[in-house]
Amino acid sequence: KGLPLNYITVSIISAIIGGLIFSSTFAFINPILNKDVSSNTTEVASVPWENKENQDKNVQKEPNESNMVTPKPVKQNLEKKELSVPEIAKKVGPAVVGIVNKTQIGGFIRQTVEQGSGSGILISPDGYIVTNNHVVDGATDVTVIFSNGKKYEAKLVGKDAKTDLAVIKIDANNLPYANLGDSSSLEVGELAVAIGNPLGQEFAGSVTVGVISALNRTIKIEDKELTLIQTDAAINPGNSGGALVNSYGEVIGINTIKMAAAGVEGLGFAIPINEAKPIIKDLMTHGYVKGRPLIGIAGRNITPEIAAMYDLPVGVYVVQVTEFGAAERAGIRTGDVIVKFNGKLVKTMEELNALKEQHKAGDVVEITVNRQGEVKTFKVTLDEDK
């Protein structure tokens, strides 16, 4: 029989929990907005990678014989210079920071203890840092440590459990920051450099080298599915939230998990930066991912076996209904069994969520339930998941 494979997140867990390998926790926590980021603003946050793209579009080139004709497409990017690994480390290394997650424990006498650490990437000169949600999950205090040892206290701008991304901010300016690249142009076999803090601050700024091993790997963690970049560049506990960099010194992925089992090596995974960019932008602007739909129920799958045992239909049993939420407003109750969504059969929560994700907040959908043998259909106006 083959060895069992376990997916682990790559942040360090404290001695209270023990061990260096652990499962990621993706529990949703309502985002706390930084005081400088207004949830009511109608302006779009300025993000460095968009500014750079706009600047490139506005560059006027002098006319010459080569650009007066339509050039043939070429594979090589002639506008960028490939860097050596030491050059990549010097360019991006200062923008990769350590993040220490602290929480309070105790009853009457409370104390703050470190519960884990990971990495983060500075993405702007005024202190915005992107990392993994699980690196800052449950923190009451977050400390950012630079490669030179300087420390800052950070505030949470926003976090998203579904994509395992978070944005924090420190109060500083003129900081080194990383350029974000284009993960859609990646090819299997090209250079990949991972920069982060494996095993904590003692090994801060570690650089490991490998290749892009595969693209669009679907990894399921608990009830979440992530589509990730696979690399053999060494990723270890503490690398979570760190940078995966291409040969031009651009961040093309955010290191997040690895596969660990006896005899298994070189299976690390990163969130593609193109998938992360819109999430980061929403977190910076709103503190959450805007427009994501929400039904407002907690459900449990009724399998054919359970259905036969309790004389229920196969579907999603509504365990809880959010007070004043979309489902409750429409008339759905605890104990209902959801059997259809917009006329399509629903047998599991996974199927229900997949159908829901095809819509946006504010859409009106029809949800059909079986209520003690009576079939009812409700029109539900989807809420926004904040």
The answer to whether 188 touches 214, Cβ cutoff 8 Å, is yes
pLDDT score recorded for residue 259:
75
Count of CB atoms situated within 10 Å of the CB of 265 = 11
pLDDT score recorded for residue 266:
72
pLDDT score recorded for residue 50:
62
pLDDT score recorded for residue 102:
84
Task: Please name which of 95, 57, 276 lies closest in space to residue 182, comparing C-alpha atoms.
Answer: 276
Decide if 164 is catalytic.
yes
What lies within 8 Å, CB to CB, of 286 at 6+ separation is 37, 39, 158
pLDDT score recorded for residue 24:
34
> What does the alpha-carbon distance between residue 17 and residue 247 come to, in Å, rounded to a whole number?
38
> What does the alpha-carbon distance between residue 109 and residue 279 come to, in Å, rounded to a whole number?
38
Decide if 240 is catalytic.
yes
- Of the residues 240, 247, 286, 383, which is catalytic? 240
Residue 251, burial from CB neighbour count under 10 angstroms (0-12, 13-18, 19+): buried
- Of the residues 124, 134, 206, 282, which is catalytic? 134
pLDDT score recorded for residue 138:
87
Q: What is the pTM of this model?
A: 0.74
- Of the residues 137, 160, 164, 282, which is catalytic? 164
Going residue by residue through the chain (386 aa), what tens digit of pLDDT does each one get? 444 444 445 543 333 333 333 333 333 223 332 333 333 333 344 566 565 544 444 444 444 444 444 443 434 555 789 999 999 999 999 999 999 988 877 777 777 777 778 999 999 999 999 999 999 998 889 999 998 889 999 999 999 999 999 999 999 999 999 999 999 999 999 999 999 987 767 777 889 999 999 999 998 877 678 899 999 998 887 888 999 999 999 999 999 987 766 666 778 999 999 999 999 999 999 999 999 999 999 999 999 999 999 999 999 999 999 999 999 999 999 999 999 999 999 999 999 999 999 999 999 999 999 999 999 999 999 999 98
